[in-house]
């Protein structure tokens, strides 16, 4: 009887001979060699495929030429929230156990319009006369965002989703614990907001400012970003594992990062807002996240 493990025939480690019984004839050995080649060929292809699918933290990629540019964010721990406002309290430890991918930019009008043209997104939001292209798609509700998520998932065969609130803040902080990822003060020309230097009250093309340490653009300001979680007025009882908070007032959803309309306090890494899930507003958009294999 040959040595077999989980359906694989194991070659002898030293001689290369099959560890078959003495009674096997040459035809039988040749047949088994053929099986061996086939099995190990499949095994090699499986390993090569797994390696090709593996993405490393910091790696950027797109699932298609016109798809959202994604960046891989490493698993890790951080302290979420702040003591500045009751809605941001209490600060609490969150551990994200898996790497995940998140959009480097807010979903742009170009990306949204592709979804609309394909019939995946029913609504074509107005751009306030500021232009489309690389500007963040605005005038969107949480429900609109979910339509885009469903469409891009189907188109690419990947599991896109909205970020959880914990994932969003972790990615926005990028290993910082200051009010802004760039430091303690709002300063000038770090983001698009009402206190950020250029005071024109409109969006900027995504990626107009330096990205944070994880490679994300415009987490602070520009378009406010819907995330998956239901609204809760504080973090008492919040998940500690990075999962979305599915309990609470789910007719309200959370917006993060503030927008071009907000002053300094509204665009901190800890700032939170709530909005009706089905109401559109000209400061509100979103960015996507995606599971890795």
Q: Which residues contribute to the site for Ca ion (CB under 5 A)?
A: 218, 222-223, 257
Kind of pairing, strands 160-161 and 289-290? antiparallel
Residue 67 or 223: which CB sits closer to Ca ion?
223
Residue with smallest beta-carbon separation from Ca ion: 257
Show the CA angle centred on residue 230, arms to residues 154 and 178, nearest 5°: 100
Q: How far is the CB of 122 from Ca ion (least distance, A)?
A: 24
Q: How far is the CB of 251 from Ca ion (least distance, A)?
A: 23
Placement of tokens 């797994």 in the chain: 50
By the 8 A CB rule, do 77 and 112 touch? no
Q: How far is the CB of 40 from Ca ion (least distance, A)?
A: 50
Q: How far is the CB of 37 from Ca ion (least distance, A)?
A: 54
Residue 218 or 228: which CB sits closer to Ca ion?
218
Where b means 16+ CB within 10 Å and e means fewer, 224-235 reads bbbbbbbbbeeb
- Both tokens assigned to 174: 């990028």
CA atoms within 13 A on the CB side of 70: 28
Q: How far is the CB of 138 from Ca ion (least distance, A)?
A: 10
Residue 18 or 138: which CB sits closer to Ca ion?
138
Residue 108 or 222: which CB sits closer to Ca ion?
222
Residue 81 or 136: which CB sits closer to Ca ion?
136
Placement of tokens 């908070």 in the chain: 245
């Amino acid at each position: 009887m040959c040595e077999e493990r989980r359906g694989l025939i194991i070659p002898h480690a030293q001689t290369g001979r099959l560890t078959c019984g003495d009674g096997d004839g040459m035809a039988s050995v040749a047949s088994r060699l053929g099986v061996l080649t086939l099995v190990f060929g499949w095994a090699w292809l499986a390993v090569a495929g797994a390696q090709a699918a593996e993405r490393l933290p910091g790696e950027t990629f797109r699932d298609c030429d016109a798809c959202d540019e994604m960046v891989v964010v490493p698993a890790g721990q951080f302290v979420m929230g702040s003591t500045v406002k009751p809605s941001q309290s209490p600060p609490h430890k969150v551990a994200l156990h898996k790497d995940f991918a998140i959009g480097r930019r807010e979903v742009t009008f170009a990306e949204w319009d592709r979804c609309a043209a394909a019939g995946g997104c029913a609504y074509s939001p107005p751009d306030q006369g500021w232009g489309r292209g690389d500007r963040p798609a605005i005038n969107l509700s949480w429900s609109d965002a979910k339509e885009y998520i469903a469409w891009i998932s189907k188109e690419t065969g990947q599991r896109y989703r909205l970020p959880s609130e914990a994932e969003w803040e972790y990615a926005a902080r990028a290993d910082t614990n200051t009010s802004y990822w760039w430091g303690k003060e709002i300063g000038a020309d770090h983001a698009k907001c009402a206190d950020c230097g250029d005071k024109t009250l409109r969006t900027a093309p995504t990626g107009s400012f330096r990205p944070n340490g994880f490679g994300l653009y415009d987490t602070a300001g520009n378009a406010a970003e819907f995330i998956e979680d239901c609204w809760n007025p504080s973090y008492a009882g919040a998940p500690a594992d990075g999962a979305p908070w599915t309990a609470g007032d789910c007719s309200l959803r959370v917006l993060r990062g503030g927008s071009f309309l907000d002053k300094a306090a509204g665009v901190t890494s800890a700032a939170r807002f709530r909005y009706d899930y089905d109401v559109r507003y000209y400061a509100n958009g979103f960015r996507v996240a995606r599971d890795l294999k």
